[in-house]
Amino acid sequence: MQRPFRFSVQAFEATSAKQWTELARQAEDLGYSTLFTTDHYFGPGEISATSGHRPVDVAPLSAMMSAAAVTERLRVGCRVSCVDYHNPVVLAKELATIDLLSEGRLEAGLGAGWVAAEYDGIGIPMDSPGVRIERLAEVVSLLKAHWSGDDINIDGKYVHAHGFAGRPIPVQKPHPPIFIGGGSPRILRLAGRLADIVSLNFNNATGRLGAASVTSATLSATREKLDWVRAGAGDRFDDIELEVAAYFVAIADDPAEAVQAMAARFGVTPLELTEHPHALLGTVDEVCDRLQQRREELGISYINVAQRSMTSFAPIVARLAGN
């Protein structure tokens, strides 16, 4: 049975309270399911230039709560919280509080981190991928224990907590949906084992965005990623919601010029970009058809678009959301 489509917006920019409030309300009015913040802490400068990641204006947790406070149905989350940037107990309590105060509208996004320049720039050591992913698994165990409301007694390799019961208890049961994203075999097998929502992303092992990121997420590579998720999930694979970000969006009667520019930037051909699972290029009818085809072939029903594409992508949301 196919899941109904859901759509989310990932926010990077907000220079005033008014702008953030208007963004959240507009996302809700346009039919988007979720507004995602971004767990990065650098503004314009060297980190952005070397990593290829755009600067981020607002801190995620407070922005999530603010968005929930000015909307009624909009879900909120972070795509995704890097567990290395947060004490696990503090993160668990913050997220539980957001779920409580939003009356059950949190999606708890988690990741193992990838922007090497950011680790260096904010003074945090960056461990090997294996260590970061092992730590992420322990953080998930802590979150579930904290959110259960029972006494916590965790003495892992990286996560330690004891002597108290978690409060507040989240509204969503058995816990807010856990969203894990990544592009490597190890993280996607873990996501298959632990997550309610799995985000199929670029493999950013180089620590920066570029042509290698794009080629790591072709159609054949995405099929392989689904196999890794399946391997981790086993019998629970059909219970997992699959998400991708549409990083390349051009909704137009003739998007050729935009496609050409995007393809040149990342060193792929226009045809390769058009067929890329993270690209949605063409008319409203063409994009709707492509999304339905991908859901049929890959099972992907949850689509994220960047803030800059929210308005142009809205006709697709109006047509497909909930169907």
Question: Which two tokens mark 311?
Answer: 């308005």
- What does residue 305 show for φ and ψ, rounded to 5 degrees? -125, 155
Query: Strand 81-82 vs strand 241-246: parallel, antiparallel, or unpaired?
Result: unpaired
Residue 268: predicted pLDDT: 81
Is residue 147 a contact partner of residue 170, using CB atoms and an 8 Å limit? yes
* Mean pLDDT along residues 60-85: 97
Residue 214: predicted pLDDT: 81
Question: Which two tokens mark 136?
Answer: 């992420």
Rounded to whole angstroms, the Cα distance separating 28 from 279 reads 23
Provide, rounded to the nearest whole percent, the portion of the chain with pLDDT above 70: 98
The answer for residues whose C-beta is within 8 angstroms of residue 145's C-beta and 6 or more apart is 152, 154, 161, 166
Of 11 and 52, the structure prediction assigns the larger pLDDT to 11
Residue 39: predicted pLDDT: 95
Residue 297: predicted pLDDT: 96
Q: Three-class SS of residue 185?
A: helix
Question: Which two tokens mark 284?
Answer: 């409203």
- b/e 176-208 (16+ beta carbons within 10 angstroms → b): bebbbbbbbbbbbbbbbbbbbbbbbbbbbeebb
Residue 296: predicted pLDDT: 97
* Mean pLDDT along residues 57-84: 97
Of 255 and 73, the structure prediction assigns the larger pLDDT to 73
Taken in order 98, 104, 107, 112, is the CA torsion positive or negative?
Answer: positive
Rounded to whole angstroms, the Cα distance separating 8 from 309 reads 11
Distance (Å) of CA 66 to CA 77, 167, 208: 12, 21, 30
Residue 207: predicted pLDDT: 64
pLDDT tens digit sequence for 185-209: 999 999 999 999 999 998 777 766 6
pLDDT tens digit sequence for 111-130: 999 899 999 999 999 999 99
pLDDT tens digit sequence for 135-174: 999 999 999 999 999 999 999 999 999 999 999 999 999 9
Nearest to 2 by CA among 288, 296, 225, 302: 296
Of the pLDDT bands very low, low, confident and very high (cuts 50, 70, 90), residue 275 is confident
The answer for residues whose C-beta is within 8 angstroms of residue 204's C-beta and 6 or more apart is 114, 115, 183, 213, 216
pLDDT tens digit sequence for 3-50: 999 999 999 999 999 999 999 999 999 999 999 999 999 999 999 998
Nearest to 178 by CA among 297, 296, 91: 91
Query: What domains can be seen in the chain, in order of their start residue?
Result: 6-320 (3.20.20.30)
Is residue 175 a contact partner of residue 147, using CB atoms and an 8 Å limit? yes
Computed over every residue of the chain, the mean pLDDT equals 94
